[in-house]
Amino acid sequence: MTNTLAGRLAVNASVPVQASRWPARLDLAQSISGLLLALFMWGHMLFVSSILISQDAMWTITKLFEGYFFFGRSYPGIVAVIIALVFGLFILHAGLALRKFPANYRQYALFRHHMRGMKHEDTTLWYWQVMTGFALFFLATAHLWWMLTHPGNIGPFASADRVWGDNFWILYLFLLFAVELHGGIGLYRLAVKWGVFEGDDPAASRRKLRTVKWTITAFLIVLGLATLAAYVKIGMAHEDQRGERYTPAWVEHPEEHAP
């Protein structure tokens, strides 16, 4: 048994490899799960940033997901099911993405070498997608596990107490940049890969796509930072009443707010 590289390649070359549709199927599953997660994150940012409108708005959206306006009381179990589905999709996507990670240092070094040599923006974007993907393995898991085990602990005060009182702002600061960069690059690469928006001049439409990508990413990061600052501000002001849940005035004193 030779252990030179050439020898090993010769041995591998002699192993008959059946043409398989599985790599293409797994790629498609990765694209679809990535697209669904990116669209989920746009919705998520909309719901979480409702705190910028008012605490009542964020309370109302939270209660909507808990079925409060439908069943007359809250069922955090509904939120737990949604989180479990998102967590499952996240794990599927991460597992499929592992196939694309450099399998060893040699591949990693080779890629870095090419990236530096080519100075090709899409190649550099892919590198940052891998790096942010790696970070999301840990950052998103911490957030999803906490949410899954505390589904009823969401609201203007409950979220602010967690963001400030439990220092989740540190996790969210890294998570925000990682997820917005990763999601933005992901959607851009999906559009390029599947030829969406590809006009007569592919190079020109790719440049336009990149501009749109960076504009959306910058917008979501600025909105995310403003949202995080709002939760921190409420958390600081609420430090002495930490643990108290938010109730809108029109729920607490309905008689005073009757139409």
* Residues forming the site for ligand HEM (CB under 6 A): 44, 48, 79, 82-83, 86, 90, 136, 140, 143-144, 147, 154, 159, 162-163, 168, 172, 175-176, 179, 224, 227-228, 231
CB of 170 vs ligand HEM, minimal distance in Å: 11
Report whether 216 contacts 138 (CB < 8 A). no
Q: Please, which residue, 86 or 192, has the CB nearer to ligand HEM?
A: 86
Q: What is the DSSP letter of 246?
A: P
CB of 168 vs ligand HEM, minimal distance in Å: 5
Phi first, then psi: what are they for 130, rounded to 5°?
-65, -45
Q: Please, which residue, 30 or 227, has the CB nearer to ligand HEM?
A: 227
The two three-digit tokens of residue 241, written as one number: 């009443």
CB of 63 vs ligand HEM, minimal distance in Å: 13
CB of 211 vs ligand HEM, minimal distance in Å: 24
**Angle, CA 239 vertex, CA 235 and CA 241 arms, to 5°:** 115
Q: Which residue is nearest to ligand HEM (CB)?
A: 159
Q: Please, which residue, 83 or 206, has the CB nearer to ligand HEM?
A: 83
* Among 233, 224, 238, residue whose Cα is nearest residue 49: 224
Q: How many CA atoms lie within 13 A of 12 on its CB side?
A: 7
Q: Please, which residue, 133 or 213, has the CB nearer to ligand HEM?
A: 133
* Among 254, 230, 246, 241, residue whose Cα is nearest residue 60: 246
Q: Please, which residue, 79 or 206, has the CB nearer to ligand HEM?
A: 79
The two three-digit tokens of residue 134, written as one number: 């790696």
CB of 117 vs ligand HEM, minimal distance in Å: 32
> How far, CA to CA in Å, does 140 sit from each of 144, 174, 249?
6, 10, 34
Q: Please, which residue, 111 or 177, has the CB nearer to ligand HEM?
A: 177
* Among 161, 194, 223, residue whose Cα is nearest residue 27: 194
d(CA 160, CA 151): 15
CB of 181 vs ligand HEM, minimal distance in Å: 11
